[in-house]
Amino acid sequence: MLFLEIAPFALKTSPDPDCDLAEIAYSGRCRRVHKWTHYFRIYERHLAKYRGSAFKMLEIGVNGGGSLDMWREYFGPKASIFGIDINPDCAELDTPQSPVRVGSQADPGFLRTVVKEMGGLDVVLDDGSHKGKHQRKSFEVLFPLLNEGGLYIIEDTHTSYWLRFGGGFGRPGTAIGFAKRIVDDMHAWYHRRRPRTPAQTEVGSVTFHDSIIVIEKMRRDPPGHVITMPKSSTAAAEGAEF
């Protein structure tokens, strides 16, 4: 969903070339789609590997249902794509191809029930309230349920700087602030601050884009290092007398 607070950013009327996801969004085949135009290439970069596969995706915040249509066409019939929204009117968007469940992204019981119905979770896309407290709550519940190698994506993180979403430059508790903490916790092996997220052992990478954060779930062992020697040096050492 697009929010304008600082400037009336221009609407772009044609898609970027060679971007399948943008072509689908602009095609008119979907219900209403409202995205920042630079998102499409970011999503293709991270999600193209899932095309044609039987993976499981949960979208938080379905608005008019257009993004669900976009994902369905892009990923194909094998994908399991669910949407959730707090707006009761979104129940009308429910289809067998892209089920929609009504509830809050800050309700742990509701989130777990949806994931159970899905039978697992490979990708989460948070396009919900855009408020830090809700984004963090969803992450705390859903990231542990994410399959190994899965992706957790938070969209529209520019709202971390906007007061009406509880944000502000450098303000703690925003999605961007929380993601920065995850980066610190990934490096907990090297500092004495106690990690507050599972990032030390369960996050493989955190990628920051303009208004999108992509967090990869990957089990990590404690880091180690190695010193190797050229074969000539090894042979010389073995033949030496001490």
Q: Which of 130, 158, 191, 225 is catalytic?
A: 130
Angle CA(34)–CA(35)–CA(40) in degrees, nearest 5? 135
- 57 phi, psi to nearest 5 deg: -125, 135
pLDDT digits (tens, 9 = 90+) for 139-189: 999 999 999 999 999 999 999 999 999 899 988 889 999 999 999 999 999
Beta strands in 128-178 (DSSP E): 151-155
**Over the chain, what is the mean pLDDT?**
91
Helix (H, G, I), strand (E, B) or coil at 179: helix
pLDDT digits (tens, 9 = 90+) for 107-149: 999 999 999 999 999 999 999 999 999 999 999 999 999 999 9
- Inter-residue contact 59 to 121 (CB < 8 Å): no
Residues in the chain: 242
CA distance 72 to 69: 5
C-alpha atoms less than 13 angstroms from C-alpha of 194 in its C-beta half-sphere: 1
CATH class of 20-239: alpha beta
DSSP character at residue 164: G
Q: Is 134 a catalytic residue?
A: no
Question: 1 pLDDT exceeds 60?
Answer: no
